[in-house]
Amino acid sequence: MKIACVIPAYNEDRYLNTVIAKVKAFVDFIIVVDDGSDKRASELAQKAGAFVLRHIINRGQGAALQTGSDYALQLGADIIVHFDADDQFAAAEIPDIIAPIIKGEADIVFGSRFLGKESNLPWIKKYLIWPLGRLINRFFGVHTSDPQSGFRAYTKEVAESFRIENDRMAHCSEILIKLGRGRWRFKEVPITVTYHEYGQKFSGGIRILKDLFIQKINQ
């Protein structure tokens, strides 16, 4: 089985090389989608041995993931892994994420920060922002323990069956909503997250909500 890892990157020069080096051992090819960063990010990723696609202007993580997933399909990938460029996920957990797919137990697997493994989640995120996020996601029909996790893997059949329409951060919830309604079997596995920066703020959550509503209206 060919495994592709898609890494969207927007001005992530700091950790990109490290991430590519760590991920390399666990996948067949790495696709970095440079989402309108300065040229350095693309050069770094190329030198590190990744396939590099470049968005000429910034379109957001959701758009970059869709571009990367399309390219992975073109390369003949059987499993597509989504991974962040800021070194917050553990590359060594990629085998855990794809294991249920290889065993034939699931078509899509979501990494979850809330299934036992210790992560250095900021207090306000753990006890305020994420519970609130989970509550709102339930309104949209999402019932997983970590709706905003960007560490996931799915089969090529899943990738061919849907498109990420939310360009920005609402794509996490969108993927869960769409796949929850579909015929796909999904599973959650515990992951570890190491925060180097605070990441998405409360205002980001409001923007996600706005994007999800606009998408609902546009349908």
Partner 1 sequence: MLQQSIALIFIAIFIWRLFTQRKKQTINNNEFIFWLAFWLIGALAIIFIRLLDKLLITAGFSGSGINFLLYLAVITLFYLIFKLRLKISKLEKSLTDLVRELALK
Nearer to partner 1, 192 or 215 (CB): 215
Q: 3-state DSSP helix/strand/coil percent for the chain, to nearest 5?
A: 45, 20, 35
Q: Among 19-27, 66-74, 117-125, 144-152, which window interacts with partner 1 (CB under 8 A)?
A: 66-74
The tokens for 83 are: 């991974």
Go through the chain and tell me how many residues it has: 219
- Of 179, 218, 202, 62, nearest to 132 (Cα)? 202
Among 61, 66, 137, 173, binds partner 1 (CB under 8 A): 66
Among 30, 63, 153, 172, binds partner 1 (CB under 8 A): 63
The minimum distance between CB 87 and partner 1, in angstroms, equals: 24
Put the strands of the sheet holding 152-155 in their side by side order: 51-55, 29-35, 3-9, 79-82, 152-155, 108-112, 186-190
Q: Verify binding: residue 67, partner 1, rule CB under 8 A.
A: yes
Q: Verify binding: residue 85, partner 1, rule CB under 8 A.
A: no
Strand partners, 30: 5
Cβ–Cβ < 8 Å for 160, 73: yes
**Contact track, partner 1, 136-155, x by CB under 8 A:** --------------------
- Total residues binding partner 1 (CB under 8 A): 19
Nearer to partner 1, 28 or 165 (CB): 165
Note the residues at the interface with partner 1 (CB under 8 A): 33, 53-57, 59-60, 63, 66-67, 70-71, 74, 165, 167, 214, 217-218
